[in-house]
Protein backbone atom coordinates (compact mmCIF):
# COMPACT_ATOMS: atom_id res chain seq x y z
CA UNK A 1 0.00 0.00 0.00
CA UNK A 2 1.40 3.40 -1.02
CA UNK A 3 1.67 6.49 1.16
CA UNK A 4 -1.48 8.15 -0.20
CA UNK A 5 -3.47 4.91 -0.02
CA UNK A 6 -2.42 4.43 3.59
CA UNK A 7 -3.48 7.98 4.45
CA UNK A 8 -6.88 7.51 2.83
CA UNK A 9 -7.41 4.17 4.59
CA UNK A 10 -6.62 5.77 7.95
CA UNK A 11 -8.96 8.68 7.28
CA UNK A 12 -11.75 6.29 6.31
CA UNK A 13 -11.38 4.72 9.74
CA UNK A 14 -11.46 8.15 11.42
CA UNK A 15 -11.88 11.26 9.31
CA UNK A 16 -10.69 13.50 12.15
CA UNK A 17 -7.69 11.41 13.16
CA UNK A 18 -4.93 13.74 14.35
CA UNK A 19 -1.82 14.28 12.26
CA UNK A 20 0.22 12.62 15.02
CA UNK A 21 -1.97 9.51 14.95
CA UNK A 22 -2.00 9.49 11.15
CA UNK A 23 1.79 9.64 11.13
CA UNK A 24 1.99 6.71 13.52
CA UNK A 25 -0.55 4.74 11.47
CA UNK A 26 1.24 5.19 8.13
CA UNK A 27 4.78 5.10 9.49
CA UNK A 28 5.83 8.62 8.49
CA UNK A 29 6.79 11.85 10.20
CA UNK A 30 4.12 14.35 11.25
CA UNK A 31 5.61 16.98 8.97
CA UNK A 32 5.44 14.62 5.98
CA UNK A 33 1.82 13.71 6.71
CA UNK A 34 0.79 17.33 7.26
CA UNK A 35 2.50 18.49 4.07
CA UNK A 36 0.96 15.72 1.99
CA UNK A 37 -2.54 16.37 3.31
CA UNK A 38 -2.19 20.06 2.49
CA UNK A 39 -0.95 19.26 -1.00
CA UNK A 40 -3.78 16.81 -1.70
CA UNK A 41 -6.29 19.35 -0.45
CA UNK A 42 -4.76 22.21 -2.44
CA UNK A 43 -4.81 20.38 -5.77
CA UNK A 44 -8.33 19.06 -5.20
CA UNK A 45 -7.31 15.41 -5.02
CA UNK A 46 -8.69 14.87 -1.52
CA UNK A 47 -11.22 16.51 0.74
CA UNK A 48 -12.58 15.35 4.08
CA UNK A 49 -16.21 16.22 4.73
CA UNK A 50 -19.14 15.29 6.95
CA UNK A 51 -22.20 13.73 5.37
CA UNK A 52 -25.51 13.90 7.23
CA UNK A 53 -27.69 10.83 7.80
CA UNK A 54 -30.39 10.80 5.09
CA UNK A 55 -33.18 10.28 7.64
CA UNK A 56 -32.20 13.48 9.41
CA UNK A 57 -32.61 15.27 6.08
CA UNK A 58 -35.96 13.60 5.45
CA UNK A 59 -34.65 11.69 2.42
CA UNK A 60 -36.23 8.23 2.24
CA UNK A 61 -36.74 7.52 -1.48
CA UNK A 62 -33.63 6.55 -3.45
CA UNK A 63 -33.39 5.47 -7.07
CA UNK A 64 -30.85 4.63 -9.77
CA UNK A 65 -31.75 5.94 -13.21
CA UNK A 66 -30.38 4.78 -16.55
CA UNK A 67 -31.16 7.30 -19.29
CA UNK A 68 -31.06 6.69 -23.02
CA UNK A 69 -30.57 9.83 -25.12
CA UNK A 70 -31.07 10.55 -28.81
CA UNK A 71 -28.53 13.36 -29.02
CA UNK A 72 -25.55 14.65 -27.07
CA UNK A 73 -25.46 13.13 -23.61
CA UNK A 74 -23.42 15.96 -22.08
CA UNK A 75 -26.34 18.41 -22.08
CA UNK A 76 -28.66 15.81 -20.58
CA UNK A 77 -26.17 14.95 -17.84
CA UNK A 78 -25.67 18.62 -16.99
CA UNK A 79 -29.43 19.23 -16.83
CA UNK A 80 -29.90 16.32 -14.43
CA UNK A 81 -26.87 17.37 -12.39
CA UNK A 82 -28.53 20.76 -11.86
CA UNK A 83 -31.35 19.09 -9.90
CA UNK A 84 -30.82 19.21 -6.11
CA UNK A 85 -32.25 15.68 -5.87
CA UNK A 86 -29.38 14.31 -7.97
CA UNK A 87 -26.62 12.87 -5.79
CA UNK A 88 -24.65 11.32 -8.64
CA UNK A 89 -24.70 11.85 -12.41
CA UNK A 90 -22.36 10.31 -14.97
CA UNK A 91 -22.01 9.73 -18.69
CA UNK A 92 -21.49 6.01 -19.26
CA UNK A 93 -20.77 3.43 -21.92
CA UNK A 94 -23.29 0.82 -22.97
CA UNK A 95 -26.98 0.70 -23.80
CA UNK A 96 -27.68 3.87 -21.82
CA UNK A 97 -25.72 7.12 -22.06
CA UNK A 98 -26.31 8.64 -18.61
CA UNK A 99 -26.86 7.19 -15.15
CA UNK A 100 -27.99 9.10 -12.07
CA UNK A 101 -28.83 8.52 -8.43
CA UNK A 102 -31.72 10.49 -6.95
CA UNK A 103 -32.54 11.05 -3.27
CA UNK A 104 -35.93 12.49 -2.35
CA UNK A 105 -38.33 12.64 0.60
CA UNK A 106 -40.89 10.15 -0.73
CA UNK A 107 -41.99 8.11 -3.73
CA UNK A 108 -44.34 10.84 -4.98
CA UNK A 109 -41.49 13.35 -5.17
CA UNK A 110 -39.34 10.68 -6.81
CA UNK A 111 -41.99 10.05 -9.47
CA UNK A 112 -42.34 13.76 -10.23
CA UNK A 113 -38.59 14.17 -10.61
CA UNK A 114 -38.29 11.12 -12.88
CA UNK A 115 -41.15 12.53 -14.96
CA UNK A 116 -39.29 15.84 -15.26
CA UNK A 117 -36.21 13.99 -16.47
CA UNK A 118 -38.28 12.06 -19.02
CA UNK A 119 -39.42 15.43 -20.34
CA UNK A 120 -35.91 16.71 -21.02
CA UNK A 121 -34.90 17.24 -24.67
CA UNK A 122 -33.08 14.25 -26.19
CA UNK A 123 -34.26 11.84 -23.46
CA UNK A 124 -35.73 8.75 -25.10
CA UNK A 125 -36.09 6.41 -22.13
CA UNK A 126 -35.59 6.42 -18.36
CA UNK A 127 -35.16 3.04 -16.69
CA UNK A 128 -35.62 3.30 -12.92
CA UNK A 129 -34.34 1.07 -10.13
CA UNK A 130 -35.80 1.80 -6.70
CA UNK A 131 -33.47 1.08 -3.79
CA UNK A 132 -34.69 -1.33 -1.14
CA UNK A 133 -31.65 -0.63 1.02
CA UNK A 134 -28.02 0.38 0.70
CA UNK A 135 -25.65 -2.31 1.92
CA UNK A 136 -22.41 -0.41 1.36
CA UNK A 137 -21.50 3.19 0.64
CA UNK A 138 -18.89 5.70 1.76
CA UNK A 139 -21.43 7.95 3.47
CA UNK A 140 -24.41 5.63 3.67
CA UNK A 141 -25.39 4.58 7.22
CA UNK A 142 -25.85 0.96 8.06
CA UNK A 143 -28.85 1.54 10.31
CA UNK A 144 -31.69 4.02 10.97
CA UNK A 145 -31.25 6.92 13.35
CA UNK A 146 -31.95 6.08 16.95
CA UNK A 147 -35.19 7.60 18.30
CA UNK A 148 -34.99 10.48 20.74
CA UNK A 149 -31.85 12.15 19.38
CA UNK A 150 -31.21 15.64 20.70
CA UNK A 151 -30.02 18.10 18.05
CA UNK A 152 -30.14 21.87 18.54
CA UNK A 153 -29.17 24.99 16.60
CA UNK A 154 -25.53 24.79 17.60
CA UNK A 155 -25.36 21.18 16.46
CA UNK A 156 -26.75 22.30 13.10
CA UNK A 157 -24.15 25.05 12.92
CA UNK A 158 -21.40 22.53 13.67
CA UNK A 159 -22.74 20.18 11.00
CA UNK A 160 -22.68 22.99 8.44
CA UNK A 161 -19.04 23.71 9.21
CA UNK A 162 -18.11 20.04 8.95
CA UNK A 163 -19.94 19.65 5.65
CA UNK A 164 -17.50 22.20 4.22
CA UNK A 165 -14.39 20.87 6.00
CA UNK A 166 -14.59 17.71 8.06
CA UNK A 167 -11.16 18.35 9.60
CA UNK A 168 -11.71 21.95 10.65
CA UNK A 169 -10.24 22.42 14.12
CA UNK A 170 -12.50 22.36 17.17
CA UNK A 171 -11.16 25.78 18.12
CA UNK A 172 -12.14 27.31 14.79
CA UNK A 173 -15.58 25.69 14.80
CA UNK A 174 -16.09 26.89 18.38
CA UNK A 175 -15.45 30.49 17.32
CA UNK A 176 -18.28 30.29 14.80
CA UNK A 177 -20.87 28.49 16.94
CA UNK A 178 -20.36 30.22 20.28
CA UNK A 179 -19.06 27.26 22.28
CA UNK A 180 -15.80 26.31 23.92
CA UNK A 181 -13.50 23.94 21.99
CA UNK A 182 -14.13 21.18 24.55
CA UNK A 183 -17.91 21.56 24.26
CA UNK A 184 -17.59 21.53 20.48
CA UNK A 185 -15.52 18.34 20.66
CA UNK A 186 -18.20 16.71 22.83
CA UNK A 187 -20.97 17.65 20.41
CA UNK A 188 -19.06 16.40 17.37
CA UNK A 189 -18.41 13.14 19.22
CA UNK A 190 -22.13 12.79 19.94
CA UNK A 191 -23.11 13.43 16.32
CA UNK A 192 -20.56 10.90 15.04
CA UNK A 193 -21.34 8.27 17.68
CA UNK A 194 -25.06 8.39 16.90
CA UNK A 195 -24.41 8.43 13.12
CA UNK A 196 -26.11 11.76 12.58
CA UNK A 197 -22.97 12.57 10.59
CA UNK A 198 -20.13 10.55 9.16
CA UNK A 199 -16.77 12.18 8.47
CA UNK A 200 -14.67 10.60 5.73
CA UNK A 201 -12.31 11.43 2.85
CA UNK A 202 -13.48 11.91 -0.73
CA UNK A 203 -11.02 11.31 -3.56
CA UNK A 204 -11.33 13.27 -6.78
CA UNK A 205 -12.32 11.11 -9.75
CA UNK A 206 -10.29 13.45 -11.98
CA UNK A 207 -6.91 12.76 -10.39
CA UNK A 208 -4.36 11.07 -12.72
CA UNK A 209 -4.27 7.80 -10.76
CA UNK A 210 -8.04 7.54 -10.32
CA UNK A 211 -8.31 4.37 -12.41
CA UNK A 212 -11.65 3.07 -13.68
CA UNK A 213 -15.08 3.14 -12.08
CA UNK A 214 -17.72 0.72 -13.29
CA UNK A 215 -21.36 0.11 -12.46
CA UNK A 216 -22.75 -3.40 -12.41
CA UNK A 217 -26.33 -4.66 -12.25
CA UNK A 218 -27.06 -8.21 -11.16
CA UNK A 219 -30.00 -10.56 -11.32
CA UNK A 220 -29.66 -13.16 -8.58
CA UNK A 221 -31.25 -16.39 -7.45
CA UNK A 222 -33.58 -16.10 -4.48
CA UNK A 223 -32.95 -13.38 -1.93
CA UNK A 224 -29.32 -13.01 -2.96
CA UNK A 225 -28.04 -12.64 0.60
CA UNK A 226 -24.81 -14.50 -0.13
CA UNK A 227 -24.15 -12.26 -3.13
CA UNK A 228 -24.63 -9.01 -1.24
CA UNK A 229 -22.56 -10.23 1.71
CA UNK A 230 -19.71 -11.25 -0.57
CA UNK A 231 -19.76 -8.01 -2.54
CA UNK A 232 -19.97 -5.84 0.57
CA UNK A 233 -16.82 -7.51 1.89
CA UNK A 234 -14.80 -6.65 -1.22
CA UNK A 235 -12.47 -3.65 -1.02
CA UNK A 236 -13.01 -2.83 -4.71
CA UNK A 237 -16.79 -2.51 -4.27
CA UNK A 238 -17.48 1.12 -3.36
CA UNK A 239 -21.27 1.02 -3.36
CA UNK A 240 -23.87 -1.73 -3.09
CA UNK A 241 -27.66 -1.61 -2.97
CA UNK A 242 -30.55 -4.03 -3.28
CA UNK A 243 -33.07 -2.78 -5.81
CA UNK A 244 -36.47 -3.35 -7.36
CA UNK A 245 -36.56 -3.19 -11.14
CA UNK A 246 -34.61 -4.75 -13.97
CA UNK A 247 -31.79 -5.62 -11.52
CA UNK A 248 -31.91 -7.11 -8.03
CA UNK A 249 -28.56 -5.65 -7.01
CA UNK A 250 -26.62 -2.64 -8.26
CA UNK A 251 -23.00 -1.93 -7.34
CA UNK A 252 -20.07 0.35 -8.12
CA UNK A 253 -16.67 -1.25 -8.63
CA UNK A 254 -13.29 0.52 -8.81
CA UNK A 255 -10.18 -0.82 -10.55
CA UNK A 256 -6.71 0.48 -11.38
CA UNK A 257 -6.76 -0.78 -14.97
CA UNK A 258 -8.99 -2.46 -17.56
CA UNK A 259 -7.53 -5.94 -17.00
CA UNK A 260 -8.17 -5.75 -13.26
CA UNK A 261 -11.73 -4.57 -13.92
CA UNK A 262 -12.31 -7.40 -16.39
CA UNK A 263 -11.16 -9.97 -13.84
CA UNK A 264 -13.41 -8.48 -11.17
CA UNK A 265 -16.48 -8.50 -13.41
CA UNK A 266 -15.76 -12.08 -14.48
CA UNK A 267 -15.45 -13.15 -10.86
CA UNK A 268 -18.70 -11.47 -9.81
CA UNK A 269 -20.70 -12.50 -12.87
CA UNK A 270 -19.42 -16.07 -12.66
CA UNK A 271 -20.95 -16.79 -9.25
CA UNK A 272 -23.47 -19.64 -9.23
CA UNK A 273 -26.07 -17.48 -7.52
CA UNK A 274 -25.80 -14.73 -10.15
CA UNK A 275 -28.19 -15.32 -13.06
CA UNK A 276 -27.00 -12.43 -15.22
CA UNK A 277 -24.78 -9.37 -15.00
CA UNK A 278 -24.63 -6.12 -16.94
CA UNK A 279 -21.92 -3.49 -16.59
CA UNK A 280 -21.23 0.07 -17.68
CA UNK A 281 -18.10 2.19 -17.36
CA UNK A 282 -18.31 5.72 -15.99
CA UNK A 283 -16.74 7.96 -18.62
CA UNK A 284 -17.37 11.44 -17.30
CA UNK A 285 -18.81 12.19 -13.86
CA UNK A 286 -20.94 15.32 -13.97
CA UNK A 287 -21.85 15.36 -10.28
CA UNK A 288 -20.95 13.50 -7.12
CA UNK A 289 -22.64 15.12 -4.17
CA UNK A 290 -22.25 14.42 -0.48
CA UNK A 291 -23.41 17.64 1.19
CA UNK A 292 -27.12 18.46 1.54
CA UNK A 293 -28.96 21.55 2.78
CA UNK A 294 -29.52 21.86 6.51
CA UNK A 295 -31.89 24.26 8.28
CA UNK A 296 -30.30 27.63 8.97
CA UNK A 297 -29.25 27.65 12.66
CA UNK A 298 -29.96 31.40 12.89
CA UNK A 299 -33.54 30.46 13.76
CA UNK A 300 -35.25 33.08 11.63
CA UNK A 301 -37.14 30.49 9.60
CA UNK A 302 -37.50 27.69 12.11
CA UNK A 303 -41.25 27.64 11.72
CA UNK A 304 -41.08 26.87 8.01
CA UNK A 305 -38.26 24.35 8.40
CA UNK A 306 -40.19 22.22 10.85
CA UNK A 307 -37.07 21.51 12.91
CA UNK A 308 -37.37 21.34 16.68
CA UNK A 309 -34.40 22.28 18.84
CA UNK A 310 -35.69 20.18 21.71
CA UNK A 311 -35.92 16.44 21.22
CA UNK A 312 -36.93 14.32 18.26
CA UNK A 313 -39.72 12.11 19.61
CA UNK A 314 -39.66 8.33 19.41
CA UNK A 315 -40.67 7.18 15.95
CA UNK A 316 -39.86 10.57 14.44
CA UNK A 317 -36.17 10.48 13.75
CA UNK A 318 -35.82 13.12 11.07
CA UNK A 319 -37.11 16.60 10.33
CA UNK A 320 -38.85 16.87 6.99
CA UNK A 321 -38.52 20.36 5.54
CA UNK A 322 -40.71 21.65 2.75
CA UNK A 323 -39.36 20.22 -0.49
CA UNK A 324 -39.41 21.46 -4.06
CA UNK A 325 -38.16 18.78 -6.53
CA UNK A 326 -36.62 21.42 -8.80
CA UNK A 327 -35.03 23.74 -6.26
CA UNK A 328 -34.68 21.43 -3.28
CA UNK A 329 -35.72 21.97 0.35
CA UNK A 330 -34.17 25.43 0.62
CA UNK A 331 -34.08 28.23 -1.90
CA UNK A 332 -30.73 28.83 -3.56
CA UNK A 333 -28.88 28.14 -6.78
CA UNK A 334 -30.26 25.24 -8.88
CA UNK A 335 -26.97 23.34 -8.85
CA UNK A 336 -26.80 22.92 -5.11
CA UNK A 337 -28.88 25.52 -3.24
CA UNK A 338 -25.72 27.38 -2.23
CA UNK A 339 -25.80 31.15 -2.51
CA UNK A 340 -22.65 31.89 -4.57
CA UNK A 341 -22.21 35.24 -2.83
CA UNK A 342 -21.50 33.53 0.50
CA UNK A 343 -18.20 31.68 1.16
CA UNK A 344 -18.52 27.91 1.21
CA UNK A 345 -17.60 27.61 4.88
CA UNK A 346 -20.22 30.18 5.93
CA UNK A 347 -23.21 29.20 3.83
CA UNK A 348 -26.75 29.92 4.97
CA UNK A 349 -29.90 28.33 3.66
CA UNK A 350 -33.05 30.31 2.93
CA UNK A 351 -36.49 28.68 3.24
CA UNK A 352 -38.98 28.44 0.42
CA UNK A 353 -41.65 31.12 0.60
Domains of the chain, residue spans: 3-43, 61-140+205-288
pLDDT at site 1: 63
pLDDT in tens, 96-129: 999 999 999 999 999 999 999 999 999 999 999 9
- Coil vs helix vs strand at 300: coil
Distance CA 336, CA 330 (A): 10
Rg (CA), the chain: 21
pTM for this prediction: 0.77
Condensed to tens digits (0 to 9), the pLDDT of residues 276-302 reads 999 999 999 999 888 788 765 554 433
Q: Is the per-residue pLDDT at 5 higher than 50?
A: yes
CA angle 157, 160, 164 (to 5 degrees): 145
For residue 311, which of 148, 109, 191, 157 has the smallest C-alpha distance? Answer: 148
Mean pLDDT of all residues in 288-317: 48
Domains 3-43 and 61-140+205-288 share a fold: no
- Is the domain spanning 3-43 CATH 1.10.10? The answer is yes
CATH architecture, domain defined by 61-140+205-288: 2-Layer Sandwich (3.30)
| DSSP H or E stretch at residue 154 | helix 153-164
pLDDT at position 142: 67
pLDDT-above-70 percentage for the chain: 82
For 119-150, letters b (16+ CB in 10 Å) and e give: eeebbeebebbebeebbbeebbbeeebeeebe
Looking at the DSSP bridge assignments, the partners of residue 214 are 253, 281
Backbone dihedral angles phi then psi of residue 281, each to the nearest 5 degrees: -100, 135
Sort strands 274-288 and 212-220 into parallel, antiparallel or unpaired. antiparallel
Amino acid sequence: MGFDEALVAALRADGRMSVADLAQRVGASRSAVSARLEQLKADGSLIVIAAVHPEFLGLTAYAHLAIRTSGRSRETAEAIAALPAAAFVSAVSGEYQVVAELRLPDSAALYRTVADIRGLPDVELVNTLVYVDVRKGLFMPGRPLAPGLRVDDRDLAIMMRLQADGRESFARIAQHVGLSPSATRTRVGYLVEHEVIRIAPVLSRARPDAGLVCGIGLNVRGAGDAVTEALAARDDVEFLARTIGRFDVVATVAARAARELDETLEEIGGREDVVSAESWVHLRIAKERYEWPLPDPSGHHRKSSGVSTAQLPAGRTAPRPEYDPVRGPWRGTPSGNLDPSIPAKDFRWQPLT
